[in-house]
Structure 1
Amino acid sequence: MNPPALIMLGMAMSTDAFAAAIAKGAGLNRPGIIQALKIGAIFGVVEAITPLLGWLLGSLAAEQIDHYDHWLAFVLLGGLGIHAIWGALTQAPSTTEPEPKERSLWSTALTGLATSIDAMAVGVGLAFVDVNIMMAALVIGLCTFAMVTIGIMAGKALGTVFGKRAEIAGGLVLIAVGTVILYEHTLGAAA
């Protein structure tokens, strides 16, 4: 696989994470560049690990992953989206405390995992082509890191301008991403 193809693969694998990052950035209380970089790093590491796992599992796991990956992504992203909407609707307007660190890390890692399940399936596919899987995983992770960092900062701008409406929209985006994944793997495959 040539370098431009690897970069295109990395960008394609980071689009779900980018959408989730915009949603997360809209819900955060004034995220700075350091926080955006940390969140980008978490997403990037998770997104780099999953194709490696997929590559290791090979074709045997491809059949099992293919049967439920879309449902798992749908449930995780939908649940996180509903949680974001619920939080926006029930949070008192005067609350300015940031999300607790443990919950924030867990939520970020879970969102990163939910958006990277498809990368595991891609990793399985890469096991059957001539590709340096370490380089592919690195490129996917770096692209995701960059896209998520940008997404957090873009979400911050949207959150500042639109407040809770941006957080609700972010939750709807997470639900939409999960629904698109589900559609593409079920109804879209049948079409």
Structure 2
Amino acid sequence: MNLASTIFLAFAMSTDAFAAAVGKGASLRKPRVTEALRTGLIFGVIEAITPLVGWAIGRTAAQYVTAWDHWIAFGLLFLLGARMIREGCGSAEHADEKPNSHSFWVLAVTGFATSIDAMAVGAGLAFIDVDIFSTAATIGFATMLMVTVGVMIGRLVGATIGKRAEIVGGVVLIGVGCAILAQHLGYTS
């Protein structure tokens, strides 16, 4: 795989994390660049690790990873999205109580849910001649950049639509989960 293909793959693998980051940024009270970088780093590290795990699994049992990855991603994203929608539908008197940051675990679970497809890609890469470490690092770096930008875009969107931002973020997460599921079930090209 050449450098251009690796970069294209990295940014393609980052699009669902970007969408989730916009929702995460929208649900925070004016996230700062440091919070966006923290979120980007957490997502990026997870997105870099999962293709390595997938590659290792692919060397032994690729059919098991690809058989379930889309269901796991859908379930996690649906639950996280439903939680955000529920919180967004809460009383308006708590609208000023948006957190300044998300917990590490909320970000890690979201990052993992959006990177399960990278695990499947890693499993597929086990069957071709590719430097998995540089590919995984490129995927992680691209994800870090896109998530950092996504959180800051979410800040702008959140300031514009107020309390509904969390609902929009939840809908985006559920939509990403549905898109992953539809793609793997063959409903999209």
Same fold (TM over 0.5): yes
Q: CA RMSD in A?
A: 1.8
Q: CA deviation at 1:37?
A: 0.1
Which residue does 1:90 correspond to in 2? 90
Q: CA deviation at 1:97?
A: 4.3
Tell me how far apart the structure 2 counterparts of residues 148 and 93 of structure 1 sit (CA, whole Å). 30
Please, which moves more after superposition, 82-91 or 116-125? 82-91
Matched, 1:105 2:107: no
Paired residues, number: 189
In structure 2, do the counterparts of structure 1 residues 142 and 82 end up closer, same or farther at CA, with 3 Å as the change threshold? same
Which residue does 2:56 correspond to in 1? 56
Q: CA deviation at 1:187?
A: 4.1
Q: CA deviation at 1:188?
A: 2.2
Tell me how far apart the structure 2 counterparts of residues 28 and 156 of structure 1 sit (CA, whole Å). 7
Which residue does 1:150 correspond to in 2? 149
Tell me how far apart the structure 2 counterparts of residues 107 and 61 of structure 1 sit (CA, whole Å). 29
Tell me how far apart the structure 2 counterparts of residues 91 and 18 of structure 1 sit (CA, whole Å). 28
In structure 2, do the counterparts of structure 1 residues 162 and 100 end up closer, same or farther at CA, with 3 Å as the change threshold? closer
Question: Which stretches of structure 1, 4 residues or more, deviate above 4 A after TM superposition?
Answer: none
Partner amino acid for 1:171? G
Identify unmatched segments of 5+ residues in structure 2. Answer: none
Equivalences for residues 71-82 of structure 1 within 5 A: 71-82=71-82
Q: CA deviation at 1:98?
A: 5.1
Tell me how far apart the structure 1 counterparts of residues 38 and 82 of structure 2 sit (CA, whole Å). 24
Q: Output one character per residue of 1:102-136: Cα deviation in whole Å (capped at 9) or x when no partner.
A: x6211100000000000001001111111111100
Tell me how far apart the structure 1 counterparts of residues 111 and 127 of structure 2 sit (CA, whole Å). 25
TM-score where L is the length of structure 1: 0.93
Which residue does 1:188 correspond to in 2? 187
SS, match of residue 90 in structure 1: coil
Which residue does 1:41 correspond to in 2? 41
In structure 2, do the counterparts of structure 1 residues 170 and 136 end up closer, same or farther at CA, with 3 Å as the change threshold? same
SS, match of residue 89 in structure 2: helix
Q: CA deviation at 1:100?
A: 8.6
TM-score where L is the length of structure 2: 0.94
Tell me how far apart the structure 1 counterparts of residues 91 and 54 of structure 2 sit (CA, whole Å). 39
Contact kept? 2:29, 2:100, Cα under 8 Å: no
Identify unmatched segments of 5+ residues in structure 1. Answer: none
Identity %: 52
Matched, 1:121 2:120: yes
Partner amino acid for 2:9? L
Partner amino acid for 1:63? Q
Partner amino acid for 1:109? A
Partner amino acid for 1:38? R
Which residue does 2:137 correspond to in 1? 138
